[in-house]
């Protein structure tokens, strides 16, 4: 299973070493990221000598220090690392004074404006139906995730408000990426996800800006082969479960993309299979789509495959496509064989056993 990320890759010809920032953060992030590290190390001399730099972040770190994302972590990522891997974060559902999600903050501070989440079937469908093969491209820096919320007391009690930010600039660059990715895929099909029938100004701007990408100066018919469709987000979720084969590349504002990609994971068996990268023009950070799963943390049963696949996507982005292919083929072969699987996929294997099996096949 090959996941291509058509954002500008960093030059690799002169690189003598590879420095990867490692941010396990919370919960099972600390259990799956070592699996990603093991997969990278299994590539041996086919990639430059690799140095892993352990970095701090997360809700647990916040409870100890009062900060979820230390300035030092960001500075090291910017100045010393070639790329990074993030595990998972246990952001609470209740309000915690002073706390803000470190992964959301990292995406903004590093200008990782694109979250790319491929979802693809590996095992043979016994009913003979077309397999799932889609990519959700999520704008990563705006929408409701700007976290500008207020609460006041009105005539009828508490009133809470949130600012939703959609800009032409952010919508254009995520739209350009979506068209590039659609063009590189066999079906060349792009679906713009929105709710502009209700949110006519914010979603309207996103929709119009993305659809206008083929008319930008210098494009000159480049995307003539890309078929463009659009779908209201609620209808998109319904059709995703009824007929997932209609989708190829989906591009969406931040919140919709988050929801759609998690929903799509159910179509291939588990969130533990779905990788992603947070990508900008000069940096990339792999991140499994799953959360911190505190209910199974520390039990050695978390599925490491999403983290391992995220490492492969990260490597491909920075120019090590052959190594990425080796990792992805190893993961796919383990899944097809179906003998060594974690409980989320109906198996009885431990995290460490799955990691060992994948690394043997790389």
Active site residues: 145, 195, 234, 258, 262
Any residues with CB less than 8 A from the CB of 199 and at least 6 apart, and which? 164
- Rounded-to-integer distance, Cα 1 and Cα 3, Å: 7
Burial of 315 (0-12, 13-18, 19+ CB in 10 A): buried
SS (H, E, C) the chain: CCCCCCCCCCCCCCCCEEEEEEEEECCCHHHHHHHHHHHHHCCHHHCCEEEEEECCCCHHHHHHHCCCCCHHHHHHHHHCCCEEEEEECCCCCCCCCCCCCHHHHHHHHCCCCEEEEEEECCCCCCCCCCCCEEEEEEECCCEHHHCCEEEEEECCEEEEEECCECCHHHHHHHHHHHHHHHHHCCCCEEEEEECCCCCCCHHHHHHHHHHCHHHCCCCCCCCCCCEEEEEEHHHHHHHHHHCHHHCCEEEECHHHHHHHHHHHHHHHCCHHHCCCEEECCCCEEECCCCCCCCCCCCCCCCCCHHHHHHHHHHHHHCCCHHHHHHHHHHHHHHHHHCCCCCHHHCCCCCHHHHHHHHHHHC
**Residues in a beta bridge with 118:** 135
**Residues in a beta bridge with 21:** 53, 84
Q: Could you tell me the sign of the dihedral formed by the alpha carbons of 32, 33, 36, 41, in that order?
A: negative
């Amino acid at each position: 299973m090959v996941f291509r990320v058509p954002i500008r890759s960093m030059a690799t010809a002169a690189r003598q070493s590879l420095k990867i920032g490692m941010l396990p953060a919370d919960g099972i992030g600390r259990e799956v990221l070592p699996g990603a590290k093991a997969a990278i190390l299994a590539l041996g001399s086919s990639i430059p000598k690799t140095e892993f730099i352990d970095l701090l972040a997360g809700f647990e770190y916040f409870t100890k220090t009062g900060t979820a994302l230390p300035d030092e972590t960001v500075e090291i990522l910017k100045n010393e690392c070639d790329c990074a891997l993030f595990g998972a974060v246990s952001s609470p559902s209740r309000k915690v004074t002073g706390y803000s999600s470190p992964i959301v903050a990292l995406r903004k501070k590093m200008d990782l404006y694109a979250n790319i989440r491929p979802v693809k079937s590996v095992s043979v469908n016994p009913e003979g139906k077309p397999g799932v093969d889609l990519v959700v491209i999520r704008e990563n820096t705006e929408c409701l995730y700007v976290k500008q919320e207020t609460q006041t007391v009105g005539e009828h009690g508490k009133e809470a408000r949130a600012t939703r930010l959609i800009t032409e600039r952010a919508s254009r660059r995520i739209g350009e990426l979506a068209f590039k990715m659609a063009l590189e895929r066999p079906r060349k099909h792009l679906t713009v996800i929105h709710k502009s029938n209700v949110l006519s100004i914010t979603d309207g701007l996103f929709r119009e800006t993305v659809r206008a990408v083929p008319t930008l100066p210098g494009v000159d018919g480049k995307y003539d082969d890309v078929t463009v469709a659009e779908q209201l987000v609620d209808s998109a979720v319904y059709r995703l479960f009824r007929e997932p084969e209609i989708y190829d590349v989906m591009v969406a504002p931040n919140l919709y993309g988050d929801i759609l990609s998690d929903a799509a994971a159910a179509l291939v068996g588990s969130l533990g299979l779905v990788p992603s990268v947070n990508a900008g023009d000069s940096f990339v950070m792999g991140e499994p789509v799953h959360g911190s799963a505190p209910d199974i943390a520390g039990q050695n049963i978390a599925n490491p495959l999403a983290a391992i696949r995220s490492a492969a996507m990260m490597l491909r982005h920075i120019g090590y496509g052959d190594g990425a292919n080796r990792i992805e083929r190893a993961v796919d072969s383990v899944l097809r064989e179906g003998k060594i699987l974690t409980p989320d996929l109906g198996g009885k294997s431990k995290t460490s056993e799955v990691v060992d099996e994948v690394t043997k096949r790389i």
